[in-house]
A and B are shown apart, each in its own frame.
Chain A
Amino acid sequence: MKNFKIFLFNVILLFPVLMFGQQTVKGTVTEATGNSALPGVGIIIKGTIKGAATDFDGNYSIENVKPGDVLVFSYIGFNTKEVTVGNITTINVAMVESAESLDEIVVIGYGTTTIKDATGSVAAVTEKDFNKGNIVTPASLISGRVAGVTVTTDGSPGGGSAIRIRGGSSLGASNDPLIVVDGLPISNSTAGGSRSVLASINPNDIESMSILKDASSTAIYGSRASNGVIIITTKKGKSGFNVDINFKAGYQTLADKIEVFDGDAYRNLIAERVAAGQGGISIEQLGNANTNWQDEIYEEKFTFDQSISVSGALFNNVPARVSWGNTQQPGLRRTSKFERNSLTFNLNPSLADDHLKINFNANISSENNRFAPGVEGSAIYFDPTQPVYDATSPFGGFFEYHTNGIRDNANRNPVANLLQNENTSIVDRLYGNLEFDYKLKFLPELRTVLNLGYDRSYGVGSSILSTESINGFRYEEDGVVSYIGSESHYTSERKNLLLDAYLAYNKELENLNIEATAGYSYQKFMAEDFNTGNKRDPEAERDTNTQPDVVLLGFFARTNLNFMDKYLLTLSYRRDGTSRFNSDNRWGNFPAAALAWKINEEDFLKDSDVVSELKLRLGWGITGQQDIPASYAFLGRHVTGDSFSQYIFGNSAVVVGIPQSKFEDIKWEETTTYNIGLDYGFLNDKIKGSVEVYLKESNDLLANVAVADGSNFSNAGWQNIGKFTSKGVEFAIGSDIVRTDDLNVNASYNLNINQTKIDELAYGQDIEVGGIGGGTGSRIQVHREGFAPYSYFVYKQLYDTAGAPIEGAYADINQDGIINSSDRYIYKKPNADITMGFQTGVNYKDFDLVFNLRASIGNYMYNNVNSSRAQYNLLQDVTALGNIPVTVLESNFVETANVLISDYYLENASFLKMDNLNFGYTFNKFNNDISSIRVWTGVQNVFTITNYSGLDPEVFGGIDNTIYPRPRTFLMGANIKF
């Protein structure tokens, strides 16, 4: 009893001491680099569930902490930090950015997940992984960075890119992936006057791009998802005042030219050919000049890019970001120009005690273009013995072919064409979205989200041809003929409205995490174009072309179940309706399911030192495609002809009215995708990557195929006929090979092996595609059952014993004694079998070096430049002499018609390219205000290794009929962060 009283007394005496032992610890949590405050950092007393979080300024306060307790600070993207509490009650913590990216947030449709918890095939590329160099449009940021994603960018300034994810899934419908910017899906239809749909988005404003590759992740986008989805997220405001300034200057040079005969060699060649008996050559037309026409049409110029962004918190409460960017990229062709000014504005206030989050993004951009006409063909062809200028010429002082002022049927001076043609446009674009995310007060697990999106492009342009141009409109008065140039003006508008509304429910039970989303999406696309026609032609008609609206509606639902953080299940469903099909066929159902097993969380691997990540993913889904050029092929419609297409009855012209072809029963394409993936990580994620195997089957392919004549108002139309299979393997690996305080070497590599085959076509009938130059109506590719799409369809060239090709001699494939189109055979295809990407970065102290390589193996190219030009008969082009490529000396071919469709011109265009090489130095803590300055220098389009004899082995579509050359740009720049 006495012992108990003493015990009780001690306890009572000690109680205040124990009470005083419980203290309140306060402090501020910041980022180690840059010192900006980190809000939302979780702090937990280790071993308990007591915790707190930092507020907006990074301040926290946690009570009832005893000395000896360990405080655990954790925040996504940063290494978790543990601090033992002593007697000091103010503990400030600086968090170091995590090299791990597994906790990185990945944006998926209508929600986010982390790489760790993703069940589908998704890849996230963030700012630190983006390609560095002269990146003018967003697609170039990820070129070569993601397995299975190929980006082929046009060489023209601000030029568009063809993006293909796993080879695409369509024949006749679009193969472009769906691009979503901050929740707003972008239309693929470019406003007239704009370079491309992505040209007005400044890459400096992009925070990350999520690429969804398999149906289990894309099916939630339903009817547009068959070709994959790219979700672009732009930068938002952060706490702490930050200023980011970027300068970039580059010098664009011409990497290569097509080799043709120079003036002297040409004069010799003509003399030789005439002596050898070639008829019809007007040798008297030879001039005395030595003009290199390709040099004359290109000009090496500077390109500039600058942007400044300011982010911080308005009224200390509302994160905001403003940025302005200016890009000037004149192309290599003389007179061409691309200039973009963009202004973005983001506001992300969080109201009602964090229950209502508002996301407001607005982007205004203005493109200012001058389009230079494609004169590569006439530059190759023009007689090198003629001068560029001719003082006696009635056509602005340029040398041209004419007879007493009447133009001849001959080649036109390419320099004159560039300088006398003013084709300019200004395209203004406003796009953005306003998103409300409200967490219910009485049920905080449930959020309601409303996203309103708007995208409007308005282009105004004009095309004016000087009155001195030989290509002008022919005007005759009183028997006197003159050319009065031409002038047309146009406007073009594209509008896109979006409304997304959905509920998101997230509940964490003991062993099970449930996430559920259900909602509705509405999107409407509108397009209108106006053209004045040639105002100098008295008969020209002004015309407004208004396209019908395209409306897409969908209902979607998804649930993610996470059982014990080991077993993950995702189920999603979307029901989509489109205005493109009739009411019976317009609704489609797109389900998807995915299972993931985090093997590394199982007991037998949980504590392994070697295996840090091993996740097996199985996915299945059905996605749709309905993006065909026809907006309502099922409706019965009539069109009236324009003023040039009338018929005369009696003595007046009558406007013709023709019914349009009508295809009532067209419906969705459906692609079913199976995907098996294994994400791995070794040695604490020092080496990580993934392996994937996929199979895609597209059914009911929408293709423009022949229909029985007489039954409809065309001989072909959109029908659902055809089947197509794609299968492949992807492999990706990345590693922080060396990571010490001074030296960091990292590298990543990705590989995709893809095979696509057409299983079934309408009536088993071939579809000829791939138009080429060299003879009107000629085609070089074919879609045929059992072969890859766009396979080349050529004659088999025969060679003599010395290995030289025999002109016009082809193998009689079907052994019927005649050489005609039945002897064409399928040989190779333009799409690569294997594509690879590799990037490596070396950081030593404050220096950094980055370069990336890209390879493509198994892609072939039809060299149309040679096939339609490198023949001796073209030395005389109708009425004038013409130049030809020097490759004619290898083949000694004479007649284009005899050799155009020969497999002699099919070349292996496999290549290895180094896209970017970048070297920089960072001044850290320059002074108190500026937190870092990085200066850098680099080269873009460093080298290309290929056996292809043409200019560039990377031509989308596999037919090289001259391209806008890709410049080699030498760059330098600076990036200043405050």
Chain B
Amino acid sequence: MKTKNIFKLLFFFFGTLIFFSACTNELDVTPKDDDEFLSEDFYASKDSYRSALAGIYGNLSLTGTTGPASSNLQGIDAGTSQYGRTLWYLQDLAADEVIWSYENDEGGAVKAIQRNTWSASNTILLGFFSRAMFSVALTNDFLRQSTEENLAARGHSAISAEIKTYRAEARLLRALAYYHLMDLFGKAAFVTENDPIGVYQGPEYNREQLFTFIESELKAIEGDLVGSNQNEYARADKAVAWMILAKMYLNAEVYIGQNKYTECLAYSNKIINGGFSLASNYSYNFLADNDYNEAGTNEIIFPLVVDSKVTQNWGPTTVIINGEVGSLEANAVALGVDNGWGGALRVRKQFAEKFLNGDVPLTDTRNTLTTEGREIEIADVGDRDAGYIISKYKNLNVDGSRGGVHFEFVNTDFPLFRLADVYLMYAEAVVRGGSGGTMGEAVGYVNALRNRANSATITDNDLTLNFLIDERSRELHWEGHRRQDLVRFSLFTGGNYNWVWKGGSTNGIALSSHLNVYPMPANNMAANPNLTQNPGY
């Protein structure tokens, strides 16, 4: 009797144990939220490829998926990891065109950039490097997911032609990221879609290797891209590929020590003849409706999208427009925002002087300086009343109405590449001895810009390198080009051109040449031992 009960008990016990063991498959959980999917489920729908492509483009403007304050990069907040903004900081804030008033932001990182006293632990360097490499990672994933095999396996072979274009654009965005990394840091970790996801540590590519890769990439995808100025708004086309190539060739002496001005002219011509034209008014390029106004349709080659409703971000135009509001002028409404940031941005003396004839401002329409009631000197960086301010970017439409209804976010896109730049690149390549262009054409292009700006025209004799470096500033200031230009002209480091607060000194001091390249950020280097520090750091 007793034995029988024991057996019954043991049977019951082991039975329950087996039953419970079956519960172990409960340990396999899946996403329950409606915004999160297993990657395989995400790609089950045909529309998801467009969504994924929008994700790669989105990385140029967005910092996360849940609003402008969200950050999908860790340890860096949305403000210091936005692609356009950190690019603008590293190219424009580090030189003579602008100065930021709140120097204790980001633990002093902004102060270090604008005074050229940065170190490898600077948060803004970390932010840009991580954000650009994130573009690389997103492209790699898209390329893995959109192979012919995967399309066939999911039954999406019908859209294979459209996907081909998407793939080309994704590769272009990856090449763009590497181009920026090559320019700013001189090296990057090289990761492609053939490398595993997880903790893979890509090998270090120096400027030569990156140059070769970007060049071959862009030429390889050129055929698959949509024709010049023919793709839908915000998407890249052949002209963007040509632009990157033209920029690389123009700067080839800096990157690889070779003279490639002829190649630069070849691609500049392609863009100039690629269906673009100058807007009738300079300012149209920097208004809230620069997605669809004359400049947006004809002159801007590639914008970074900003929208106060659907693409909210604290990107370059949000920062610039809110920062332009002067501490004395309180001109927020005139710039299209409610309050601004109390005079966050001012210009340095050397920049202002490019628009002054002695004390008299030039009538050039590119001159938006406010000089009244202000001194040109900035003795104390924190004093927001000192120094001149400008009003180049506005959150107003061509008709003067306000862009969107948000008190702080703007609608103004950031014009990453535009035709006016190509005109000046053409002129510069000619002056530097490239073949495929004539002096006459070069002068003609420069004068086209000057005519648009109601400024006096120039002659062949006036077209010198000294003139060009200043003219580039007059035309392209605050558009993310300045440092690259000064480096190419050997004026960034050394003492040939000193601007106020250069090197942290009131009137500027000479900089050591190792500062021509930014240091590899310490965190990125620590995570990938293949990366080495740049000399001098």
Contacts and interface: CB of A to CB of B under 8 A. Distances in A.
Interface of A: 279-280, 403, 406-409, 440, 442-443, 474-476, 481, 501, 503, 520, 522, 524, 528, 539, 543-551, 553, 577-579, 583, 586, 631-632, 635-651, 653-660, 662-665, 704-717, 719, 762-765, 768, 774-779, 818, 820-822, 873, 878-879, 895-897, 900-901
B191 A475 contact: no
Given A475-B405, A645-B312, A409 B29 contact: no
B342 interface: yes
Interface string B221-236: 0000000000011110
CB-CB nearest 8 A-B residue pairs: A897-B104, A709-B133, A710-B191, A650-B232, A775-B104, A657-B51, A708-B528, A638-B42
Interface stretch (B135-143, B348-356, B445-453): B135-143
B66 A642 contact: yes
B61 interface: yes
B407 to A, nearest CB: 4
A285 B400 CA distance: 33
B39 interface: yes
A550 B29 contact: yes
B6 interface: yes
B286 interface: no
Contacts of B201: 708, 711
Given A641-B62, A644-B310, A577 B27 contact: yes
Contacts of A662: 197-198
Contacts of B527: 705-709, 715, 763, 765
A873 B382 contact: yes
B33 A642 contact: no
Contact of A775 (B105, B138, B202): B105
B79 A776 contact: yes
Given A583-B28, A651-B233, 6 more contacts: A553-B27, A637-B42, A644-B311, A706-B523, A775-B108, A897-B382
Nearest to A899: B104
The winner among A635, A659, A719, A778 for most chain B CB atoms within 10 A is A659
Interface string B49-71: 01110110110011011111010
A879 B202 CA distance: 49
A663 B198 contact: yes
25 contacts: A279-B383, A409-B339, A539-B309, A545-B33, A548-B32, A551-B27, A551-B29, A577-B27, A579-B28, A637-B37, A638-B38, A642-B67, A645-B67, A647-B62, A649-B234, A655-B54, A709-B129, A710-B137, A711-B201, A714-B74, A765-B523, A777-B107, A822-B119, A897-B108, A901-B107
Contacts of B407: 474
B490 to A, nearest CB: 25
Given A662-B197, A711-B191, A777-B80, A638 B39 contact: yes
A565 to B, nearest CB: 30
B334 interface: no
B339 A408 contact: yes
A657 B27 contact: no
Contact of A657 (B54, B108, B191, B311): B54
Interface in B201-231: 201-202
Contacts of A635: 30-31, 38
A577 B20 CA distance: 13
A550 B330 CA distance: 53
Interface in B109-168: 109, 111-112, 117, 119, 121, 123, 129-130, 133-134, 136-138, 140-141
Interface stretch (B9-17, B88-96, B478-486): B9-17
Contacts of B29: 548-551, 579, 631-632
A513 B12 CA distance: 27
A899 to B, nearest CB: 9
Nearest to A715: B130
Given A708-B199, A710-B189, A765-B526, A548 B31 contact: yes
Nearest to A774: B104
Contacts of B42: 637-638, 657
A544 B34 contact: yes
B38 A711 contact: no
Contacts of B405: 474-476
The winner among B26, B109, B202 for most chain A CB atoms within 10 A is B26
A878 to B, nearest CB: 4
A657 B524 CA distance: 25
A873 B133 CA distance: 39
A651 B327 CA distance: 37
B289 to A, nearest CB: 12
A900 B104 contact: yes
Nearest to A549: B29
Contacts of B62: 641, 645, 647, 656
A645 B54 CA distance: 10
A650 B233 contact: yes
B26 A712 contact: no
Given A713-B137, A774-B104, A820 B55 contact: no
A501 B13 CA distance: 10
A586 B29 CA distance: 12
A900 B340 CA distance: 25
Nearest to B338: A406
B339 A645 contact: no
A458 to B, nearest CB: 17
B183 interface: no
Nearest to B51: A657
B359 interface: no
A647 B74 contact: no
Interface string B251-276: 00000000000000000000000000
Contact of B526 (A522, A643, A706): A706
Given A709-B189, A711-B137, A658 B197 contact: no
Contact of B138 (A408, A644, A713): A713
A148 to B, nearest CB: 32
Given A548-B32, A711-B137, A658 B26 contact: no
Contacts of B57: 647, 649
A639 B35 contact: yes
Contacts of A654: 50-51, 54
A639 B342 contact: no
B26 A820 contact: no
Contacts of B327: 280
Interface string B318-355: 00000000010010010000111110000000000000
B79 A777 contact: yes
Given A656-B58, A710-B137, A777-B105, A641 B66 contact: yes
A642 B201 CA distance: 32
B524 A407 contact: no
A638 B36 contact: yes
A681 to B, nearest CB: 42
B130 A656 contact: no
B311 A653 contact: yes
Contacts of A579: 26-29
B119 A547 contact: no
B73 A640 contact: no
Given A656-B58, A715-B75, A821-B119, A524 B26 contact: yes
Given A651-B233, A714-B72, A716-B75, A522 B20 contact: yes
Contact of A636 (B39, B64, B133, B333): B39
B189 A768 contact: no
Given A280-B385, A708-B200, A713-B134, A653 B111 contact: no
B428 interface: no
A716 B527 CA distance: 9
Given A637-B37, A645-B64, A818-B117, A710 B232 contact: no
B382 A641 contact: no
Contacts of B384: 280
B524 A648 contact: no
A520 B16 CA distance: 10
B80 A657 contact: no
Contacts of A822: 119, 121
Given A474-B338, A713-B134, A646 B311 contact: yes
